[in-house]
Amino acid sequence: MPRFPLLVLAVAVAATMSTVDAQQAYKDGAGKLRVALAKQPLSPNGPSKGPTTMAEGGIRQILEGMGATVRVEEAQLTPDQQKEYGGWKRLGMSLGHFADIVAKNEREGYFTVGLLATCPSMPGLVAGLQRSGPTHEALRIGMLWLDAHPDLNTPETTRSGSLGGMPVAVATGRALHGMRLDAKLDPPLADRYVVMGGVRLTDPLEQHLVDTSLIEQLSVDDLRRQTPAVWTQLDRLDRLTDKIYVHIDMDVLDPREVMAHGNKVPGGPSSEELAALFEQIFTRYRKASAIGFATIPPADEGGLSIAALNRMIAAAARGVAARK
């Protein structure tokens, strides 16, 4: 057998591995961290100012002060798509554009920080990671979901009728398949690739979905103290998946930091505790590829919410920067 084709194949494989490694290091040739602030401003009820509030709340200056190269991009509908019927349909299409931004960030070696109107933006971010590999084959994405609520409701189980309580159901293929496909998330996330942390308020019928799923749970205490359970679950995701996404609904926090959040729940961890956790996660796991924050409160007396956000983003960036 001729040796030349084998040599070409070996070089190609090595180049692919080098490209993937460079992407997951998220640094340029001089070792400078690259961060993309990716805004998804469309909520189920229309445009939200939240992502712009997050992007303009000082985080860019903080990251640049750490020596990072920062770029900001925003998902937008086309003029024709803006005329489409139904807010949920338009949201799905916007998430498809958001997925393209996230996939581009990955391929170009930028660490994505998702600035999300609401939690229903999550399927687009996961889809972007799923589609960011060197081939057309979908990557396996693991998710650490930090939220006071599981958001596993479907239209059949919801008490409120709010899409805000359904994004994990959408992402895992339980409901609204058209929205998931518009978001370019295909196949759906497997339950065993999802770990929830900090959940403490669940609807009755939703609790049945949680109990009969294969989704793993971490308690608020686990998050606060970084117990062995946290690392057991993340080690498991690291083995099973190609990339890991960390999602934060700001309502997971202690209500004192998010007083104006409409869905705050007592008993959450502090942003300091989560920041310490994120720095460790993004240092330890090269597969940890993106972090996203949803639902900044519309009012923020004293700037506590934006300070909490900035603290957590900066900690994740420090973790990525510390990778060897």
Tens of pLDDT, residue by residue over 135-165, are 989 999 999 999 999 999 999 999 999 999 9
Q: What are phi and psi of 85, to 5 degrees?
A: -75, 145
Terminal-to-terminal C-alpha distance of the chain: 39
pTM of the model: 0.92
Tell the CATH topology of 32-321. Arginase; Chain A (3.40.800)
Could you report the per-residue pLDDT of 14-51, keeping only the tens digit for each? 334 333 454 468 999 999 999 999 999 999 999 999 99
3-state secondary structure string across the chain: CCHHHHHHHHHHHHHHHHHHHHHHHCECCCCCEEEEEEEECEECCEECCHHHHHHHHHHHHHHHHCCCEEEEEECCCCHHHHCCCCHHHHHHHHHHHHHHHHHHHHHCCCEEEEEECCHHHHHHHHHHHHCCCCCCCCCCEEEEEECCCCCCCCCCCCCCCCHHHCHHHHHCCCCCHHHHHHCCCCCCCCHHHEEEECCCCCCHHHHHHHHCCCCEEECHHHHHHCCHHHHHHHHHHHHHCCEEEEEEEHHHCCHHHCCCCCCCCCCCCCHHHHHHHHHHHHHHCCCEEEEEEECCCCCCHHHHHHHHHHHHHHHHHHHHHCCC
Q: Which residues pair with 294 in a beta bridge?
A: 116, 249
Q: What would the mean pLDDT of 2-6 be, rounded to a whole number?
A: 46
**Residue 18 buriedness (CB in 10 A; 0-12 / 13-18 / 19+):** exposed
pLDDT of residue 8: 42
Could you report the per-residue pLDDT of 177-212, keeping only the tens digit for each? 999 999 999 999 999 999 999 999 999 999 999 999
Per the CB < 8 A criterion, the answer to whether 87 and 171 are in contact is no
Domain ranges of the chain: 32-321
How far is residue 40's CA from residue 95's CA, in Å, rounded to a whole number? 8
Task: For the chain, give the percent of residues with pLDDT over 90.
Answer: 89
pLDDT of residue 136: 87
pLDDT of residue 11: 38
